[in-house]
Amino acid sequence: MTIATATRFRQVCAEHGLTATHQRQILFEVLQGMTGHPSPEKVYAKVKRRIPSVSLATVYKNIHLFIASGIFREVSLHHGSLRVEVNSRPHHHLVCTVCRSISDIDEKDLGLLQKPKTLSSGFLVERYAVDVLGRCPSCQEKP
Amino acid sequence: MTIATATRFRQVCAEHGLTATHQRQILFEVLQGMTGHPSPEKVYAKVKRRIPSVSLATVYKNIHLFIASGIFREVSLHHGSLRVEVNSRPHHHLVCTVCRSISDIDEKDLGLLQKPKTLSSGFLVERYAVDVLGRCPSCQEKP
DNA sequence: TTACAGATGATAAGAATTATTGTTTAATAA
DNA sequence: TTATTAAACAATAATTCTTATCATCTGTAA
């Protein structure tokens, strides 16, 4: 790591009120150097190369901390257990970033899509699923 | 249940090549009568009221079967383990409905959003996350 | 430099899901 | 209707992913 990177990490920690520990710094650097959508286990494997004594729990805790601080995001707020969609009407989802509650919004009420059916990447489009992320009414009261 | 419902269930099973068992029929009816985004446990609880001997594993297996057949959907293909988003550019996701692989597409390349910032429901919009669902190049070969 | 709040590592515990196995049932043909 | 047989079922063990617990250790501010 460069001194610039270390300095930047300390700045980020200061901004978010986090203690600048060695484990966090390595985790930060590892995450920045990864591509795609790594799982905690994958991240752990990389951190472990640089800190062999690191614990998986520490990786989990600090990933959550980085996400809570807004330093990184999670790929989807829907991860977790399986949920069945029983609404057969075309609709999308309002997902609360605080409590993770999901409510439905009819496709026509969202009214923002002009669906291109082909994408240059060779991906065959079947449909779009839009998550509107934000705060549900009851979570707008809390700060 | 009405005779019409039973008949419809048998039709659905015939269409998808499924054996029409009692457990499946009750599960089908229970799902149709639920709202929101129920978990397998919630569904199991309801089925159990009508078939006290039913097993949770049966509910899981048949929910998966219904989803595989396209009779119901799952709320999100992202459920499962936590994934970290390490791409800090504004982007959305191409999600393969067959292998569940995720790839990124730049927001500007998707080009379909006109973001309304307010929704009538009192939901405070922060941002949109679009999943383009379909088949990735390697899954287009299989039938 | 020291005190201490907070972080870490080791590991137990918990929740969600899947696999295994012996028994029962639905679909079909006689 | 009954016999046959592949498929589905219930019970439960096993697995996977994640969180909680707790005894040390460390970063920070005084």
Q: Could you please report the per-residue DSSP string of B81-141?
A: S--EE---SSEEEEEETTT--EEEEEHHHH------SB-TTS-EEEEEEEEEEEE-GGGSS
Chain B residue with minimum CA distance to A93? B75
Greatest extent of chain B over all pairs of C-alpha atoms, in Å:
55
B142 touches chain A (CB under 8 A): no
B4 touches chain A (CB under 8 A): no
Q: Which residues of A touch B65 (CB under 8 A)?
A: none
In whole angstroms, what is the distance from residue B136 CA to residue B139 CA? 5
Q: Do B97 and A126 touch (CB under 8 A)?
A: yes
Residues in reach of strand D, judged by a CB distance below 7 angstroms, are: A 13, 19-22, 39-41, 56-57, 60, 64, 79; B 18-19, 21-24, 51, 53-58, 61-62, 80-82
What pLDDT score does A77 carry? 97
What pLDDT score does A126 carry? 92
Of the pLDDT bands very low, low, confident and very high (cuts 50, 70, 90), residue A116 is: low
Of the pLDDT bands very low, low, confident and very high (cuts 50, 70, 90), residue B5 is: confident
Residues 6-25 (A) with a CB less than 8 A from some CB of B: none
What is the dihedral sign for C-alpha B140, A126, B78, B110? positive
In whole angstroms, what is the distance from residue B62 CA to residue B27 CA? 8
Give the Å distances, CA to CA, from A2 to A5, A8, B49, B123: 5, 10, 63, 43
Q: Tell me what the mean pLDDT of segment B55-78 comes to.
A: 98
What pLDDT score does B63 carry? 98
Write down all domains in chain B, each with its CATH number in brackets.
3-69 (1.10.10.10), 91-139 (3.30.1490)
Q: Please give the structure tokens belonging to residue B111.
A: 């080009």
Residue A113 has pLDDT above 90, yes or no: no
A72-76, B53-57, B134-138: which range is least confident on average? B134-138
Q: Tell me what the mean pLDDT of segment B21-49 comes to.
A: 98
Q: Tell me what the mean pLDDT of segment A73-100 comes to.
A: 96
Share of chain B above pLDDT 90, in %: 81
In tens, the pLDDT along A33-55 reads 999 999 999 999 999 999 999 99
Q: Please give the structure tokens belonging to residue B114.
A: 């006109």
What pLDDT score does A142 carry? 67
